[in-house]
Structure 1
Amino acid sequence: MQSVLGHDDAKDRFRRTLANGRLASTYLFVGPAGVGKRYFAERLAAALLCPRRDGASLEACGVCENCRLTAAGTHPDLLRVARPEGKTTLPVDLFIGPADRRNREGLCHDIALRPLVADRRVAIIDDADDFSVETANCLLKTLEEPPPGSLLILIGTSLARQLSTIRSRSQIVRFGRLEATEVASILCRQPDPLEPADAERLAAIAEGSVSRALELAEGQLDQARETLLRRLASPRLDANDLARVFEEETKAVATEPRIRRRAMRELLAATIATLHARLSTAADDPASVDALLRQLEACFEAESALGRNANQSAVVQSLAQQLARRAG
């Protein structure tokens, strides 16, 4: 996996596993968002489907028919499932088919079919954090009795967000944050590459996440973040002014609600990081520590509200008021 930067522990683990012929049927990849878990899964799948792969190598040849199909996203033995836009959980239909085609379509049906081109079938299930109990139960039989030669890779962010029925039946593979130099290198290799100076600047504040760096590069999010941080640096916070900054800066990034919500999450993350940094230097001042903890609590409440698709303007107004009030 020369094209995969970082994650050497995961690479070594799979090399040993393949060398010993002990590949499990289900793996759960967990780690921060945007560090390359899905890309690692795609590269691993490509290697496993490539007939020219050499032994324990994690490198696909890149030129055979299987590799061309995988690269084009049309390999019939590579199945992909992800939470649809606008949904809060993985729908049951993705796993057992719609009501009029129950158990005749969906991932659980498709993974059990004989491979069409390769010698195995691989399924990548994104958004594993968003399994509902009902959907997880649909997958339970497949996890307990995996079809011969099949491989399932589930991608989530933390074990705490996984249902016990999923967690207990999976081999856990942990992914850490990327180094800033690795993030910068990836940003320069994108189809629409960033200038090296911009890549380094964004990588330095992206906390090891390529997706976060790319979001910062979109629209005016980078500038929005800097404007917010200047306001937060003021000795006194005005609730109305702070709410206006949140509202106007997210609107400057995009007018489309979904992207504005993402921008708001990024501004929240920047606020939380700022408050954490202040907390580390305020240990000798109990009053400051208490105020900072209350502000962090307000940020976490706002994050939770955004996750429930609460009205963004209402979330912003409430957050600004609590940050200003609790600063005192």
Structure 2
Amino acid sequence: MATPRIESHAFPRSWKDLIGHERIRSTLSSAIAKRRLGGSLLFVGPPGVGKTAAALLLAQTVLCRRQSAAEMNPCGQCPDCAQVRAATHPDLIQVSKPQDKSLIPLELLIGPVEARLQEGFCHDVHLRPMQGERKVAILHDADFLNEEGANCLLKTLEEPPANAVIILIGTSEQRQLPTIRSRCQTMRFTSPTGVEGRELLRQHIQRLTEAGQSPPSLADAELDEAIELAAGDLQVATRLASGQSNEIRGKLLTQLSASVPDPMIIARCINSHLDEISKKEAPLRRAGLRDLCSIAVQYYRGELREAARQGRYNGADARRLDRTLRVFREIDRSANLNALVDCYAADLSLAITGDRGSIG
């Protein structure tokens, strides 16, 4: 089973350290106090905002046997807490999309063909807890469930075991099938702004900084700009604030502001930036393309807002914004990057959405 290995420093030690989500903590605390925590939860919000941290803190809270869950203060030192942080607790089930797959494989949910319903996420949720009284099952990357995979989960989500908490983690409600949404209690995580947003972004940058090096010293205005450019995606904001896209930004904006962007120059700019990041590692190249598209999205949104203030509507910019948003979906679907960049550059020049039926 694909179990995400999350370093112990990648999520807070306590609920007090979870930045910007006091409402979420309060809701979960109330449910635990009233003995109503259970069933199926759907955590949605931008990448890097703290959904996974909250899910693991909840697992630690439920599975810690030194502190009552109602106190919302897991000790962090007992074997249960240590196993949760190391992703080795027998009563914590975690499944995520393998890096080499575009969707969560069916066998991770209901077992391989030769052992259907005898292995996998749905089977393991129904097993009795091995160490404590409850189980916690976390399905990361819920955005990457296809219809068949989602259908396999429906009965488990609708009638979860009384001693289990099931948590699905995705980026938005819209990316989940209606049948999944209707069976889950949705908890929406928003990107913190202001002081909390800057603090969380600084933490992300600190983790990204190589060992032995000091993180870059960034002014509050630079951090705020990175968060705005990334539209709340803290992973993208971290890379932008770290200066990984600064040089290319000016060249890209010059083309985006042209009445007819040159597709060859746009493609050359993007490809050169991706090559600087990595010539072979597809995940890094996809992340780099996300950064550039985030810059384009914010640029076109700004242009459309300004036009609206003047009582105008710029159809070309609206279509280019829509085309840029399509790129994110195509990245998630593991589209060929070379073809994607060429098509995107051409469509920006022509000011068309790139709607090719079921593609994009």
Query: Normalization by structure 2: what TM-score?
Result: 0.82
Contact conserved, 1:128 with 1:154, CA < 8 A, in 2? yes
2:273 aligns with one of 249, 252, 269: 249
| Residue of structure 2 in register with 1:197 after alignment | 217
> Could you say if the C-alpha distance between residues 308 and 141 of structure 1 is closer, same or farther in structure 2, counting changes exceeding 3 Å?
closer
| Residue of structure 1 in register with 2:300 after alignment | 275
Q: Which amino acid aligns with 2:39?
A: S
CA distance in 2, matches of 1:118, 1:223: 53
**Does 2:199 align with 1:174?**
no
CA distance in 2, matches of 1:294, 1:188: 33
- SS of the aligned residue for 1:148 comes to coil
Q: Which amino acid aligns with 2:161?
A: P
Q: How does 1:140-155 map to 2 (within 5 A)?
A: 140-155=154-169
CA distance in 2, matches of 1:252, 1:110: 43
1:164 aligns with one of 178, 200, 212: 178
Contact conserved, 1:188 with 1:199, CA < 8 A, in 2? no
Mean Cα deviation higher: 127-136 or 10-19: 127-136
Which residues of structure 1 form unaligned runs of 5+? none
2:253 aligns with one of 229, 232, 235: 229
Mean Cα deviation higher: 245-254 or 184-193: 184-193
Q: Which amino acid aligns with 2:100?
A: G
Q: Which amino acid aligns with 1:195?
A: P
- SS of the aligned residue for 2:165 comes to strand
| Residue of structure 1 in register with 2:203 after alignment | 186
CA apart distance, 1:178: 1.9
> Could you say if the C-alpha distance between residues 133 and 291 of structure 1 is closer, same or farther in structure 2, counting changes exceeding 3 Å?
closer
| Residue of structure 2 in register with 1:220 after alignment | 244
CA apart distance, 1:289: 1.0
1:25 aligns with one of 39, 44, 49: 39
> Could you say if the C-alpha distance between residues 169 and 236 of structure 1 is closer, same or farther in structure 2, counting changes exceeding 3 Å?
closer
**Does 2:259 align with 1:239?**
no
Which residues of structure 2 form unaligned runs of 5+? 1-14, 353-360
CA apart distance, 1:63: 0.9
CA distance in 1, matches of 2:75, 2:237: 30
| Residue of structure 1 in register with 2:234 after alignment | 210
> Could you say if the C-alpha distance between residues 295 and 97 of structure 1 is closer, same or farther in structure 2, counting changes exceeding 3 Å?
same
> Could you say if the C-alpha distance between residues 253 and 189 of structure 1 is closer, same or farther in structure 2, counting changes exceeding 3 Å?
closer
**Does 2:122 align with 1:101?**
no
Q: Which runs of 4+ in 1 moved over 6 A?
A: none
1:44 aligns with one of 31, 42, 58: 58
| Identity among equivalent pairs (%) | 37
Contact conserved, 1:219 with 1:253, CA < 8 A, in 2? no
Q: Which amino acid aligns with 1:182?
A: E
> Could you say if the C-alpha distance between residues 236 and 61 of structure 1 is closer, same or farther in structure 2, counting changes exceeding 3 Å?
same
CA distance in 2, matches of 1:202, 1:299: 23
After superposition, give the CA deviation of every residue in 1:208-227 in whole Å (9 maximum; x if it has no partner). 33322334367933433344
Contact conserved, 1:221 with 1:253, CA < 8 A, in 2? no
CA apart distance, 1:156: 1.1
CA apart distance, 1:152: 0.4
> Could you say if the C-alpha distance between residues 324 and 11 of structure 1 is closer, same or farther in structure 2, counting changes exceeding 3 Å?
same
CA distance in 2, matches of 1:240, 1:95: 44
CA distance in 1, matches of 2:168, 2:278: 31
**Does 2:160 align with 1:139?**
no
| Residue of structure 2 in register with 1:311 after alignment | 336
Aligned residues: 326
After superposition, give the CA deviation of every residue in 1:135-182 in whole Å (9 maximum; x if it has no partner). 122222222332231110001122222122211111111111122323
After superposition, give the CA deviation of every residue in 1:19-54 in whole Å (9 maximum; x if it has no partner). 111113110111222211011101111111111224
| Residue of structure 2 in register with 1:6 after alignment | 20
Contact conserved, 1:184 with 1:199, CA < 8 A, in 2? no
CA distance in 2, matches of 1:137, 1:20: 31
CA distance in 2, matches of 1:218, 1:311: 27
> Could you say if the C-alpha distance between residues 38 and 63 of structure 1 is closer, same or farther in structure 2, counting changes exceeding 3 Å?
same
CA distance in 2, matches of 1:294, 1:64: 55
> Could you say if the C-alpha distance between residues 97 and 203 of structure 1 is closer, same or farther in structure 2, counting changes exceeding 3 Å?
farther
| Residue of structure 1 in register with 2:358 after alignment | none
CA distance in 1, matches of 2:316, 2:99: 37
